[in-house]
Structure 1
Amino acid sequence: MACCSVSQASLLVCAALVMLGSGSLPAGGFQFHVGGSRGWIEPTGNDTDVYNDWASENRFHVGDSVYFEYKNDSVLVVDGDDYGTCDGTYPIYKFKDGHTTFTFDRFGFFYFISGNLTHCLNGQRLIVRVMHILPFSPGPLGAPAPQPGDGDQGGDPFSPAHSPPTSSSASPVTANVLVSPAAVVALAAAALVVSFSGLLL
């Protein structure tokens, strides 16, 4: 006897697709350990850009988090002006527990500084840019056919007359698709239900 009918299985697949499209499935972010194995400490010598160099090597998205590990210090979230002057007088958030996780809830810039003025001035500060992911929008299914007078004289399609524009105003078209692991699991589970329901009928 089947655990559900084909129509019930179809309903499960539709529900998973609706949840995927509406963003109802929980999205798991990636956790970055600030400073890697060295953690959140005062830089030494001329290493004042160590944290921003680290951030530039990573890509941060909404839902990701940064983990700060430190001793006898603090982490302040400040605005851009306070970041530039290492002013921790009126932080947006202040953490001093030694193990701080901060989750990005929006795209844009986030500014972190040490609560110790000397540490901050010596480079213990960090700017994180959280990327804005544009929703996927499929383009047209095919390119329009060339029209007479478009410069198409036949011949070699790779000739300079058919080359892409080279001006600085030309920009590539890209699309980012972000699918959470939970969405993949939900769709795989729905596909299994459909497969098993077909076998058990």
Structure 2
Amino acid sequence: MSSSLMMCCCLLLLFSLLSEGREILVGGKSNTWSWKVPESTEETLNQWSERTRFKIGDTLLWKYNAENDSVLQVKEKDYERCDRSEPMRGYKDGHTKIELNRPGPFYFISGEEGHCQRGEKLRVVVLSPNHNRSVVDAPAPAPVNVVLSPNYNRSNVDAGAPLNAHITNKGNLNRAWSLLLLLLPLGLLV
């Protein structure tokens, strides 16, 4: 096998390892049930969803009390009406994982009576693989100045943690970097 063909194969393997989807906790808060009737209208799951970019291959993770709740994947009309009668899929394990395997919207509601009507529902929109190409010619957004409150205390913030999100990489990034470091001394990437 020629060194250029070997290099191409290795680079394809590296890119496939780096492009694996993420596991995203619904609601973004790891220390509580993520699927429940919202306590207020100020912070709904749909507001969280609108701030999160989902791509094909990502997996949503729901944490909830399986004794008194469930997750139903439904069609748009059933989502709008909170109709639980004909779900596409239903889950009641308390730790539900659903892979986002196509672009476009996904709709989820609670399977428990009255929960959806009180706001326990989620709409997720998965970006198409070509999403970034459509904005190439768009002008860059203006810079934003951030003003922190006088009561802001940086020592209370974990610098390594994302704000209001809990996302983990499902792939093994260390494997990709290990492969790259192994190939460099062999001269295959030169």
TM above 0.5, one fold? yes
Please give the secondary structure, in 2, of the residue aligned with 1:118.
coil
Counting matched residue pairs gives: 150
Q: Secondary structure at the match of 1:117?
A: coil
Q: RMSD across aligned C-alpha pairs, in angstroms? A: 3.2
- 1:48/1:82 CA distance change after superposition, 3 Å: farther
AA paired with 2:138?
Answer: P
1:130 aligns with 2:123: no
Counterparts in 2 of 1:116 and 1:24: CA distance versus 1, 3 Å: same
Residue 47 (structure 1) shift: 2.0
* Counterpart residue identity of residue 41, structure 1: K
Max Rg structure: 1
1:111 partnered with 2:107:
yes
- The equivalent of 1:149 in structure 2 is none
What per-residue deviation string (whole Å, max 9, x for no partner) do you get for residues 9-65 of structure 1?
A: 444212224557xx8658421111112243111113x42761001111110000111
- Compute the displacement of 1:133 (Å): 2.2
Q: Is 2:74–2:109's contact at 8 Å kept on the other side of the alignment?
A: yes
- Structure 2 residue runs of 5 or longer lacking an equivalent are 141-170
What are the within-5 Å matches in structure 2 for residues 22-101 of structure 1?
27-35=19-27, 36=29, 37-38=31-32, 39-44=34-39, 46-47=40-41, 50-71=44-65, 72-101=68-97
Distance 1:56 1:115, change over 3 A: same
Unpaired segments ≥5 residues, structure 1: 1-6, 138-170, 175-179
Distance 1:133 1:188, change over 3 A: farther
Shift of 1:190: 3.3
Identity of aligned residues (%): 34
Q: Give the distance between the partners of 1:184 and 1:135, measured in 2 at CA.
A: 27
2: CA distance between counterparts of 1:8 and 1:190?
14
Separation (CA, whole Å) in 1 of partners of 2:42 and 2:78? 17
